[in-house]
Each structure stands twice: as structure tokens, then as C-alpha cells.
Amino acid sequence: MKIKSIQVFKKDLRLQKPYTIARETISGVENVFLKVVLENGITGIGAANPDPKVVGESPDQTFQNLQSAFVSSLVGKDIRYFLKHIDEARKNFNHLPGTQACIDIALHDAFAQYLGISVVDFYGRQHSKMLTSVTIGIKDVQETMEDASEYYSKGFRVLKVKTGLNPEQDAERVIKIHEKFGNHFTVRVDANTGYSLDDLVLFSQLTKKYPVELIEQPILPSGDEALLKYREKFNIKLAADESLKNPEAALLLSHQKLYDIFNIKLMKCGGLSAAFEIANIAKPAGIELFWGCNDESIVSITAALHAAFACAHTRYIDLDGSLDLAEDEVSGGFILKDGYMYLDDKSGFGFN
């Protein structure tokens, strides 16, 4: 079955409300989409919203790359060789993970629909449901508690609290959540490289009586080795995020043994194929998997969930990136109920 046509477009999906992390305040969400249409009318869709501050590629660059001669050359190619096409795209768009991811996701979707099977079942479903965290940006204590109360009323059980600007205020926010909600919420924190080692130590000391499940990427990748000193004092699990951009980085980090968890994002590594390479490196090293996201369409969020559920050592998901969008290109994909994310048995990624 050959690819008949390809369509590329971008769309500002907009956030319902802005939020702040250690690096910036985010209010707009421009996603790039790629549609791959087969001769029988099946349409596979991919999407991307890469973070230029992390991977050096912007959505505008992704949009331009997807209009290249290479992408046009996919027309006429047999979808049954989709993994070969993805491998060629990764070579052609080296170090451009947003472009890679968009192509990878669209081809996975089209191929699995062609087979009449879901992507997760093509690779082997290992999980049927999992709690996702929902994110509270960097806010004052009162606003943090307001957001936590809202998520409590919606049935969520896991919070990811953005930190990284003020460790004392960050600790107060975590403490107040525990004081008000008790054991209802599991609390994770994400400093987005905003801490120094001293900041990290102070935060951990202040919250040592209040459970923190894990801390994502507390310091800049250039300071990773300093985490050895932190590990001598604290037993909190650390998750690599900004340090984990691709399989090569995963290989290095697996030897350094600085991180207990790999946070895999399709927008960082370039799609499902690269994500599975990272997962395969993590498994023999005893490193757990955490699947994260940017502010993304249901398209790429669902793709990440399929990848997560296909890996037995997936332990955490933070796939709330489409929940605050004012609009989207597709619907369906996943089911969210009481904080749990599920996948159905529809072919491909199951979009409506």
C-alpha cells in the first residue's frame, strides 16, 4: 500500500491559561501537523511542538523541514516499510527531533491503521491504565492551593509541582499541599534545571518530612556530576529530563548512575522509534521510565501513551499536555477518568 499524498500545516492551539516554569512563562502553543494519506484513503497524522530551548528546534523550523524534498519523496513509498522510512528521516533530519517525531508519529498511525491494529498492540501492550500527573506551574502558595483544589475536585491523584526559582517557597507549597490533602496526592516536583546544588539540598531538607515521589532535572545538565554529592545525603529518586535528549545521552547517563528514572519525551528524542531505543538502554540498567510532554496536541500525547504502555518498565506518566488546550486538531486517542489514562483497541492511535 503506497502513500498517495502528504499535507503539512501548523495551528496555534492556545492555552486556556498561561503557566510559569523556571525558564519561562508559556501562553501560546503552536503545533505542527503532518497528514499521510494512503491509496486506500487511510490517513495517518503526526504532530510536533518541540521546545527550542531544550532541543534547538522551533515549531517554525519543523514546519519548514516538513515541506522539504525529502518529505515530498515519501509520496509513492510503500507504508509497509514504515520503519525504514522513519530511519531515513532520522538520518536526514539529524538533531531535529520535532521534525523526526512528526514523521514518525504519522507513519506509525498510518501503518497500524493499515494493519487494523492499535500501535500499542503492534509492539505488545504491557499496561492497561496508569495515573497521570497534572502540572501546577510556579505560583505563590495561594494560587498553588487553588489549583490543587481544582485538581482534587476533578479526581486527579498525582501532582507535578513546577519549582526552580525559590527553594524555600517551593518547599512551602509542597508542605501546604500535604497539610491540606494528606495522602490523597502523590507529589512530584520539576525544577527544570532552575536549582543550584545548594538550592536542591535546601529544598530536600525542608521537605524531608513530606513525601516527594521524585525530582525531575533539578540542575543544568552541565552540573550533573554534582548530583553524586546529593545522593550521599538524600534518597529521593531523580529523573533525567533536559539531560536526556537522545539514545546517545541515555547510554552515557546509564553508565553514570546519577538518575533513577529516564523522562522520555517524543519531542526531545524524535518519536517512538528513538524512544524505544532509550527504553531498551534503560531496562538492563535498572532505570525506570517516565513519559513526559510539552504542551502538545492529543496526537502526540496519545502517541507517547502508546509507547509508554508498550514498555514493561514504565512506572510514571506525565501526559497532561493537551488537557489545557483551548482547541485541538483531533479528538479521542485516549480515555481519562479519575486521573487514570486508558487506551482503547482502535487501530492506529485511535483518533476521531
pLDDT of residue 124: 98
Please report, as a single letter, which amino acid is at residue 170.
D
Alpha helices in 191-271 (DSSP H): 197-206, 227-231, 247-256, 266-269
In the chain (352 residues long), the average pLDDT of successive 10-residue segments reads 97 74 64 97 97 91 97 98 98 97 98 98 98 95 97 97 96 98 97 95 96 96 90 93 96 94 98 98 98 95 98 98 91 96 96 93
Cell numbers placing 297 = 496536541
Q: Which string of b and e fits 88-126 if b means at least 16 CB within 10 Å?
A: bbbebbeebbbbbbbbbbbbbbbbbbbeebbbbbbbeee
Cα 169 to Cα 174: distance, rounded to the nearest angstrom: 9
pLDDT at 213: 97
CA 106 to CA 351: how far, in whole Å?
12
pLDDT at position 324, please?
A: 85
CB 30 within 8 A of CB 58: no
Per-residue model confidence (pLDDT) at position 14: 78
Local structure of residue 42 (DSSP, 8 states): -
Q: Which residue's C-alpha cell is 496555534?
A: 12
Q: E strands, 101-250, where?
A: 129-131, 133-136, 158-162, 186-190, 214-216, 237-240
Closest CA to 262 of 289, 292, 283, 223: 289
What the chain holds in terms of domains, given with CATH numbers, is 3-116 (3.30.390.10), 121-343 (3.20.20.120)
